[in-house]
Structure 1
């Protein structure tokens, strides 16, 4: 079962595309070069991609994305940060895994979810996001091919991907994606890993954030695996932690 594989962090394979590992040393160590894309194999059908956002203090912040495969078809959740890294991910799926890429799902309009989207457009790969995200990205001449208002379903192999807008949280436009067959939720930056801080609140609605996550928890009571936008994977405890974090009166980081 995928949930068992996800929690056994000591048993995973980092694809040869990676030149350095985020497991060695501090993940915030400054470097004079751009950190490479990492692709982590969780199982035959589940992969995590990790790209690094360069911060103002010249450190690098790891950003999660996810790939799900079924019957030779693949769906990508969030783009790597740069077009170059997005192209690497596309090439890996097509050439190494021989997968047909059904699309890329964009969690929200920030660079750690949408930064490399132009590479997908150049490869004629469908993109999926909320109408709110599509409107924000249009300002940067980025087109979402399949925007939606509240809910959207995508068939990938034998699975149905359910993308849903529950409300404002990390941003006004953020969504979540759920794979019922796997009882897996891709939460993106709305969902915090255990012991994480509140992070970037520049576009956040901290008043609605816990209410939005509560709606997600009630909508998917059977969820077993939760993938946040940053930090380690987990289970429903990540939803509970996020709710508690933003229920507190202090909204500072």
Structure 2
């Protein structure tokens, strides 16, 4: 008898938790077909977040983003893939970490870098990107606050972040961001994680890709941490791997040079 009562009580508790989790939703809870935003603390000043691009009803592709904090100020590298995830990240930084958001840096125009920009605009958080990215997004009614041609420096607390356009690779407009104080490079989708494939080449300039990454490697010989757009972070070997991956490509991509 006691066992039966205990079993019924356990079932009731489990049911109550399940019902509560279904009913007590917040504005940031994803629907049944959306993966939630993940935020990983790397150190006191460094956070990596992962948002998920929906490829099919049951298939999600993890997309990296990065947050750097210095003296109470923060900058986000790439927007989460949609406005809801971006709002959640902004809420976490402003209300949980209590930092001032100085801006969001957009690596290139694809959704895994710029998909949630409207949330930053609504929160009056400035955006930074190459002038090419700004023009492409402008055509889609999305505005970049501070576009640049070749190089741009952004002050975050006591630290300077360098945004630089080295040339086409994954896309025509892709940039990289470097934090000298951390010896850290945010490469976005231009840089591949170790043993990754070539990925989405729809807008790629594959024949220029190794040359562009070679320029990055030459510009930052002291880099120690490299964060790619997808997959695990690493060191300068990610640059070497990316160069090698695309150096043997003989496919004709001349249509991308128009």
Q: TM-score range by the shorter chain?
A: 0.7 to 0.9
2:92 and 2:32 map into 1 onto residues whose CA distance is 26
- Structure 1 Cα separation of the partners of residues 93 and 106 of structure 2: 18
Quote how far apart the aligned CAs of 1:250 are: 4.9
- SS for the counterpart of 1:212 is helix
Mapped pair 1:47 → 2:47 = yes
Deviation at 1:58, TM superposition (A): 3.7
Kindly state the Cα deviation for residue 56 of structure 1 after the two structures are TM-superposed.
3.8
Please give the per-residue CA displacement for 1:33-56, whole angstroms capped at 9, x wherever unaligned. 200000000011100010000114
Taking only aligned residues, the RMSD between alpha carbons, in angstroms, comes to 1.5
Larger radius of gyration: 2
- In the alignment, which residue of structure 1 is the partner of 2:192? 192
- Structure 1 unaligned runs (5+)? 1-18, 20-30
Separation (CA, whole Å) in 1 of partners of 2:55 and 2:236: 30
Whether the aligned pair in 1 keeps the contact of 2:178 and 2:185 (CA below 8 Å) is yes
Q: Shift of the alpha carbon at 1:251?
A: 5.0
Match of 2:228 in 1: 228
Taking structure 1 as reference, are residues 131 and 250 closer, same or farther at Cα in structure 2, changes over 3 Å only? same
Q: What corresponds to 1:238 in structure 2? A: 238
Tell me, what secondary structure is at the counterpart of 2:42?
Answer: strand
Shift >6 Å, 4+ stretches:
none
1:1-253 maps to which residues of 2 (within 5 A)? 32-56=32-56, 58-251=58-251
- Give the distance between the partners of 1:170 and 1:33, measured in 2 at CA: 28
Q: Secondary structure at the match of 2:166?
A: coil
SS of the residue aligned with 2:48? strand
Mapped partners of 1:160, 1:208: distance in 2: 29
Q: Deviations over 1:209-245 (max 9, x none)?
A: 0000000000000000000000000000000000000
Residue ranges of structure 2 left out of the alignment (5+ in a row)? 1-20, 22-30, 253-258
Q: Is the 8 A contact 2:168 2:205 kept in 1?
A: yes
SS in 1 for 2:52: strand
CA contact (8 A) 2:192 2:238 kept: yes
Q: For residue 44 of structure 1, give the secondary structure of its aligned residue in structure 2.
A: coil
Bigger Cα displacement from structure 2, 56-65 vs 234-243: 56-65
Measured in 1, the distance between the counterparts of 2:172 and 2:58 equals 28
Measured in 2, the distance between the counterparts of 1:69 and 1:102 equals 10
Give the CA deviation at 1:177: 0.1
8 Å Cα contact 2:66-2:76 kept in structure 1 = yes
Instruction: Name the structure where helix makes up a greater proportion of residues.
Output: 2
Take 2:240 and 2:38, find their aligned partners in 1: how far apart are those partners?
28
Task: Tell me the distance in 2 between the aligned counterparts of 1:48 and 1:251.
Answer: 34
Q: CA–CA distance in 1 between the matches of 2:47 and 2:56?
A: 29
Aligned length, in residue pairs: 223
TM-score (norm. length: structure 1): 0.86
